[in-house]
Amino acid sequence: MKKIYNFSIILSFVGLWVTSIFSGNTEIILGFFLIFSFGILHGSNDLLLIHTFANIPSRLMFLKILGLYIAIILLAVMLFYFIPSMALILFVLFSAFHFGEQHWESKQLNISSTLSQFFYFFYGLLVLQILFVLNVDDVILTIASITTYSIPETLISTILNLNIIVLLVLSVVIYRKSENFRNSVALETFYLLIFCIIFKVSTLIWGFTIYFILWHSIPSLYDQIKFIYGDYTKQNCLNYFRNAFPYWLVSIIGIIVVYNIVKDERIVNAILFSFIAAITFPHALVMSNMFSKYKKRT
């Protein structure tokens, strides 16, 4: 995983170079393309993951699980339509835990499940809050376009400060309990510094794209391939991509159609986060189960 993160560092700064040569609209198009290709790709094989760790005995049971998975997505879409403020809050909460869990599970902290889950959540929330604070104007506009509410800038910064305090307390506790955590503190602090640079220099969409693709989706693909096929090899990567290709194709066609129909940047941003949220809810649950099964397997 360390090699993947080294690769992510290099490509992150390549991504920052992209911001100096392309216009804002081009960044949006490129960001959408990457999110709806690699980003969707890393969540495309949730059903295959479920089939792998649940050992589903019959086609009927698989269809029931498929129906439940689709129902969760439709429920998320309905929440965004009828109660967008609640849906947005749930999206941030689910995403925070999901991002933190993906980043830290491979570190093998060897602490209690409750403590680790709290830490995953507040770490992921910190990453999102850094993105929000450093792009606060775009965030306020995006939230307003989704919920019609205009939140004050001070609220975003206050929540960040509170989260930092909680995360520092959790870090001190874990530092005393986990040798692996102590060995990784310096490097993880360096990663957070990189995130700050990326989010400060980039727009909201492009900064999120760099993090979502390079620091979340690619490591997630690595973990999923190892879990499903037992090892990360070229052939197993091809097998994974072959299974995910139909979802990838539908996503690309969909985002092209949406962009050509709706070209207002604020509305497009709202659609982007609404769509990501709808698939994040079930995907976060599937990945959490995968990590749990992987621990038992190893």
How do residues 22-43 score in pLDDT, each as one tens digit?
766 777 778 877 877 777 777 7
- pLDDT value at position 254? 63
Low-confidence residues in the chain, pLDDT < 70? 23-24, 54-62, 66, 77, 247, 250-252, 254-275, 278, 296-298
- pLDDT value at position 203? 87
Q: What is the pLDDT of residues 76-95, one digit of tens each?
A: 767 777 888 888 898 889 89
Residue type, 142: T
Radius of gyration of the chain (CA): 19
Query: What DSSP state is assigned to residue 135?
Result: T
- pLDDT value at position 210? 92
Show Cβ contacts of residue 47 under 8 Å, excluding neighbours closer than 6 positions. Answer: 62, 65, 66, 69
- pLDDT value at position 24? 67
Q: What is the mean pLDDT of the chain?
A: 83
**Number of Cα atoms under 13 Å in the Cβ half of residue 279:** 18
DSSP 51-115: HHHHT---HHHHHHHHHHHHHHHHHHHHHHHH-HHHHHHHHHHHHHHHHHHHHHGGG-----HHH
- pLDDT value at position 175? 96
Whole-number Cα distances in Å, 175 to 100, 106, 147, 188, 225: 17, 17, 40, 13, 31
- pLDDT value at position 56? 62
Q: Whole-model pTM?
A: 0.88
- pLDDT value at position 135? 94
- pLDDT value at position 194? 95
- pLDDT value at position 268? 58
Show Cβ contacts of residue 258 under 8 Å, excluding neighbours closer than 6 positions. Answer: 268, 271
